[in-house]
Structure 1
Amino acid sequence: MQQRMPQRLIFRTFMAVVAVVCFATQAQAQSPARQQVATNLQQLHNWVGEGANGQRWREYLLSDALQTELAKSPEQVDHGVLRAVLDQYRSDASGLDRPMFVAVRESLERWLSELPISDAELIEMVRDIADDFQPVTQQEVAAARARVAATRAELERFLSSGTQENFERWKAFLEWDDLLGRLDAEPQEMLKLRSLDRHLYANVTGTEGRRFRAFRESLDHYLDLVQTRTPAWQNYVYQQIFPTEKAADSELLAADNPQAQYEQLVARLATELSSYAESNSSEVGWRIGRLVGLLDRVGRAPEVVAAVRERYWKPNFFGRVSERVLNAGVDNQVREVTPVHDNILGTSVHGTAVLSGFLKLDLVPSDDTGRFAIRLSGVAHSDTVGYNRGVQIFSTGVSQINASKQVIVDANGLRSTAAVARVCTDTTINCISAKLRIVERIAWKRAGAQKGAAEQVAARKAEVRTANRMNEQAAELLADANRRFEEKFRTPLVRMAAYPRLLETSSSDDYLYVRAMSVNDDQLAAPGAPPVIETSGDVTAQVHESLVGNVSEMVTNPDPMVTAHKIEKSYQDAKREVPEELRMDNAENELWSFNFLPTRPVRAEFAPGQITVAIYATDFAVYDDDFDTDADNYQTPREGFPLRDEFLISAQYNVEQTADGVQFVRQGEVSVEFPNRQRIGLFNPRDALLRVAQSTLKKKFNAMFKEIVNPEDIPLQGQGRDAGRLRMRSADSRQGWLLLTWELLPPEVKTAAVASPASAQ
């Protein structure tokens, strides 16, 4: 079978798919997660046995306490007890990485995530920890410092294992000497290390390696412990969360009173949680994420940290893609001509086979992974000549071929099961030729007697060939799809510590689903399930506004600088026309740049029928016209720049349905504001620079954020042919979610131009 499975099918299956069935609270007797915990726990007890060793494991893992909670109704379950049990399973005790223990741990995590916890219970839990202050100890700092030294040494050994030139390049890029020198500085000076260690998160080849990740994680933890003990650091963190509060609270944090600081932060967390329960405001959610992250950084209040995340770490992206879309890329009609060279029961067979068939993709229901089967059904007509001891046997055959191969899609990429083929062959002997007539008669008799057996042998061999061909082609395609998945998606995000914390797939008879949660330890995700999309579609997406802020923060922190050249290049890379106001070959356009703020630099608000996109930045600068435009190296700004004032660029769009689909209509012009300034004066020289910044940014971003945005159709390709288009049919925004649907349109029919009578003469 020479027909190649579609090159883009498998990769698009993984990359385009989206969404999953939302979790619903179930009665205790109907909770699969609870039942799985009970089953796995019983299997673990059977495995460890009733002896002394088994009893020690039961005591260490708090099995009696877990069994008590399993007997309760969901409303009565003590979350604190379950978290204490889970902590034991997550500990570093030898043996807990074995499958029996892992099964209990994972099922317990699922059950705990599904159990309801009221907002009032959560707030009360936070208030209860106000008296549990524990200062960071010298032993903790020493252990963290030792971990930094160990991971640094391992990274240095790895980098120096190559050429000296390469090692020196890495040291220069990482500003290695400066970074190491500051490790011995006073704690107050270590704040500057935060700007150096961002190189460890840069999207450059190599930083995704485990040694880089181990060093940067150990360094971050060490800095957290050391700097949290300094009033300057506490004040810095607090001001990142509450930049407008300058009075009593920040003064308290600036005081040398760690316990009072802790109590104040806990009180603030309880207040913010109460506000969030009423509003689900993304601003409040961001502050909660920062406060919880601060507790987590120094290993304090682990139960509260876990409880807040259990409550507010819900998937912030759902989507699905229909089987119809997946099949759009499949070249359904199969027709191939292949040579036949075989040996059947001692007869050497040669000829040609023509396969005519149909290739399709069928989704396979699966709750824990996405699955689809590629199926081939067809008929092969063969015309062959068999040679056996001077006898020639001319025959034709008809083979019914059915083959399938299942592909599994999950967070690790794609893999497949072995192909299975079934072939049924029927042959017709048309002529037998031999030098002697008596030999022909004997050959006819023998061929007739062996016909059934020969057909069976031919069919089995065809099954093996078909399955092997499918496996070989799938291996090549899967390797290519996984390579692209790694290069374009997973690896860049791992480098920047931005890979989704949750990425799960599933499938039904009709749809392939994925759900994802992008969040780091200083953030919250979605507070709950998304609204239901009320219109059907071939592709749907449900995006929570936390996804925008979370991902933008993670991917821009390693390289926060935005330049005129980068903006132009982003249009060129996307093969989009660059607006005149952004073209660098336009002599009227100045060179400019700014830096994203480190926290949620891009934010979205999805209100009823309205979308607001905002960019938070600082350090705006313009450059002289004789700047070297070929070297995208913005080092020497014009006098008076960069401006250290923070600014906000925002655009607001109404969502409107049209006869052809959807359009987004901008309300007024793009806004450029300086939040920390009440007004911009007319005579102050610095205010004049602010007006320059405001004017320039408005001009650029009015061009970027068009007045009317009509989403373009998304073309689908299959084996070099037009496979149709996805057109956005509906868009809705409410409750902090953006809900989108696309419909699959058939390929455009291109008709040849017909010459007019005049031109034909």
Structure 2
Amino acid sequence: ALDAEAQSAPTASNYSLMGRIADRLENAHQAPGVVEFLRARYGSPNIVARVSADFIESNSERAVDDTRPVSEVILGTQQRGTARTVGTITVRPTANAQRAELIATLRGTSTGANVGTRSLGRNTLVINSTSDSTLEARKRLFLTPSGIESCPTTTEACTRSTILSICAPRLLSRLVTKQVYKSKPEAEAIAASRLERRTSDSFDEQFADAVAENRASMQDEVRSPLQRLDAAPRQWRSWTTNQAMMLEALQANGEQLGAPSAHPELDATADIAMALHQTGINNLAEAVFGGKRVTDRQVAEWVEVGSGDLPRELRIAQDNRWAIVFAPYQPITVEFGDGTLTARLRGTSFERAEETLNELIEISATYAVVRTEQGVRLTRQGDVEVTFPGREQLNIERRGIRTFMQEKFQALFPEERETEGIRFPGRFADRAPLKLAQFELQGGWLSLSWQQTEPLAADETEGEVALSTN
């Protein structure tokens, strides 16, 4: 009966109750058929994302322009000079059904001007030359739950040299010149091989820092906090095609369920597309906020950071401080209807000044969602509702709390809110922003997609990178 109700009315309450039932039956080794049924029926990934190959490539593009001194010995001749490497680094996915794989590629040229010297008895042979090399370095990168993993770089280079002059003793000039030109192909092969090694070593060194930083960040900022909260995804998978990188996760712990159905089809024409089932958000919120005490100051800080502004109603009043203790189950939930979004908060204790009320309280707001030219407009349907489940009649104390909380949460859930495009943070701030192309709510799913608003100009993509080649 509960399963049928969840199918017809997929509320957060139904999902939460069925998840706890499945967990308790499983721990008690009872009704394995029921447990298996619930895990299978509500076990689909609830977070899915797609990032196009063209988007990854265009936003990862970096120019390389690096000049370095050169000092090496080739076939007994000491070569000194400079080498300038110019090229472009890009990252693009490649087909891998087992895990997401990206190829970082440096394509470029290296030009050099060298003076070669070699002892000829009491005399010195001097060779002035230039070199032109083409090179391509490739590094395989893999996306894993622990962060990025990488393989050693492989580089292919081809060098062609031009001899400008040969200075040798007159008696040996013809013989030496003949030997120099005869050994030229071998010298070019050696120079190309050494350029390959230097380029690979430099590419590996550059990526080693980035990979180490990424893995440390994933461990410290994502995996460890989620594991402490028992909120690590039950399933996580990534894969790539030549057209896109795909990610999917089942955000649920042992007491929680996933989506009851496969995700809606993602927009294959978008730069970024994703589908979120309400269980993904609700399960994570339960792990993070369940049973936690949140003060007025924390709420004010979150609102100010998120919106850049703090409404008057949420400013701290030292003589009227307040706090709420979230319920252990379903503390913060969302429900995605057909074109509507309902947000609900549940607390088991409310504090105001010196008074405390230990009773279940629910605060909710429902929004109608409409697409706009720039994003979406959310319009609240009616007032913010503050209720005490199970109580039809409220005494003076509870009516006062309801009025107080409505005032606070009317500001947290404003009558209307509009979203615009997404801008990149940090060193990607000069990238063209992402414009919302899709925002659909249906059957518990939120489908989103974005397009980059304009082609990237050349001067926006050319952040120069130094590449060591000595």
Give the root-mean-square deviation of aligned CA atoms.
Answer: 2.3
Say yes or no: does 1:417 pair with 2:151: yes
Across the two proteins, how many residue pairs are aligned to each other?
Answer: 454
| Cα distance change on mapping 1:283 and 1:720 into 2, 3 Å | closer
Q: Provide the C-alpha distance between the structure 2 equivalents of 1:395 and 1:430, rounded to a whole number of angstroms.
A: 5
2:167 corresponds to which residue? Answer: 433
CA drift at 1:384: 1.1
Correspondence 1:372-411 to 2 at 5 A: 372-389=102-119, 390-411=124-145
Q: Provide the C-alpha distance between the structure 1 equivalents of 2:22 and 2:103, rounded to a whole number of angstroms.
A: 44
The one of 268, 271, 275 equivalent to 2:5 is 275
Say yes or no: does 1:462 pair with 2:192: no
1:708 corresponds to which residue? Answer: 416
CA drift at 1:482: 0.7
CA drift at 1:506: 0.8
Say yes or no: does 1:650 pair with 2:384: no
2:466 corresponds to which residue? Answer: none
Asked if the contact 2:289/2:332 (under 8 Å) is kept, the reply is no
SS of structure 2 residue aligned to 1:452: helix
1:569 corresponds to which residue? Answer: 301
The one of 390, 396, 399 equivalent to 1:688 is 396
1:28 corresponds to which residue? Answer: none
Say yes or no: does 1:338 pair with 2:68: yes
Asked if the contact 1:717/1:724 (under 8 Å) is kept, the reply is no
Q: Provide the C-alpha distance between the structure 2 equivalents of 1:659 and 1:707, rounded to a whole number of angstroms.
A: 20
Say yes or no: does 1:742 pair with 2:456: no
Q: Provide the C-alpha distance between the structure 2 equivalents of 1:718 and 1:597, rounded to a whole number of angstroms.
A: 37
Asked if the contact 2:16/2:329 (under 8 Å) is kept, the reply is no
Correspondence 1:282-297 to 2 at 5 A: 282-297=12-27
2:289 corresponds to which residue? Answer: 556
Asked if the contact 2:50/2:266 (under 8 Å) is kept, the reply is no
Correspondence 1:477-556 to 2 at 5 A: 477-533=210-266, 536-556=269-289
Q: Provide the C-alpha distance between the structure 2 equivalents of 1:704 and 1:589, rounded to a whole number of angstroms.
A: 21
Asked if the contact 2:361/2:386 (under 8 Å) is kept, the reply is yes
SS of structure 2 residue aligned to 1:525: coil
Asked if the contact 1:723/1:747 (under 8 Å) is kept, the reply is no
CA drift at 1:526: 0.6
SS of structure 1 residue aligned to 2:424: strand
Q: Provide the C-alpha distance between the structure 2 equivalents of 1:433 and 1:728, rounded to a whole number of angstroms.
A: 67
SS of structure 2 residue aligned to 1:714: coil
The one of 375, 387, 391 equivalent to 1:673 is 387
Correspondence 1:286-325 to 2 at 5 A: 286-325=16-55
More deviation in 596-605 or 662-671? Answer: 662-671
Asked if the contact 1:396/1:428 (under 8 Å) is kept, the reply is yes
Q: Unaligned regions of 5+ residues in structure 1, if any?
A: 1-270, 624-637, 681-686, 752-761
Correspondence 1:235-274 to 2 at 5 A: 271-274=1-4
Asked if the contact 1:571/1:577 (under 8 Å) is kept, the reply is yes
Correspondence 1:439-454 to 2 at 5 A: 439-454=172-187
AA in 1 matched with 2:163: I
Say yes or no: does 1:660 pair with 2:374: yes
SS of structure 1 residue aligned to 2:433: strand
AA in 1 matched with 2:164: N
Deviation per CA, 1:568-597, whole angstroms, max 9, x where unpaired?
A: 23245558323332233xx58831100111
1:353 corresponds to which residue? Answer: 83
Q: Provide the C-alpha distance between the structure 1 equivalents of 2:46 and 2:428, rounded to a whole number of angstroms.
A: 34
AA in 1 matched with 2:161: T
Say yes or no: does 1:615 pair with 2:329: no
SS of structure 1 residue aligned to 2:252: coil
Q: Provide the C-alpha distance between the structure 2 equivalents of 1:451 and 1:706, rounded to a whole number of angstroms.
A: 76
Correspondence 1:80-99 to 2 at 5 A: none
Query: What is the TM-score of this pair, normalised by structure 1?
Result: 0.57
AA in 1 matched with 2:445: W
Q: Provide the C-alpha distance between the structure 2 equivalents of 1:399 and 1:330, rounded to a whole number of angstroms.
A: 24
Asked if the contact 1:548/1:604 (under 8 Å) is kept, the reply is yes
| Cα distance change on mapping 1:438 and 1:663 into 2, 3 Å | farther
Deviation per CA, 1:312-336, whole angstroms, max 9, x where unpaired?
A: 2111111111223323442432211
Q: Once the two structures are aligned, what percentage of the paired residues are identical?
A: 29
Q: Provide the C-alpha distance between the structure 2 equivalents of 1:605 and 1:395, rounded to a whole number of angstroms.
A: 72
Asked if the contact 2:12/2:330 (under 8 Å) is kept, the reply is no
Q: Provide the C-alpha distance between the structure 2 equivalents of 1:551 and 1:620, rounded to a whole number of angstroms.
A: 23
Q: Provide the C-alpha distance between the structure 2 equivalents of 1:275 and 1:447, rounded to a whole number of angstroms.
A: 87
Deviation per CA, 1:403-443, whole angstroms, max 9, x where unpaired?
A: 11010102232111221100000000112234x33344433
Q: Unaligned regions of 5+ residues in structure 2, if any?
A: 460-470
Deviation per CA, 1:438-475, whole angstroms, max 9, x where unpaired?
A: 34443322211110000001001111111121122222
Normalized per residue, which structure has more helix?
1
CA drift at 1:546: 1.1
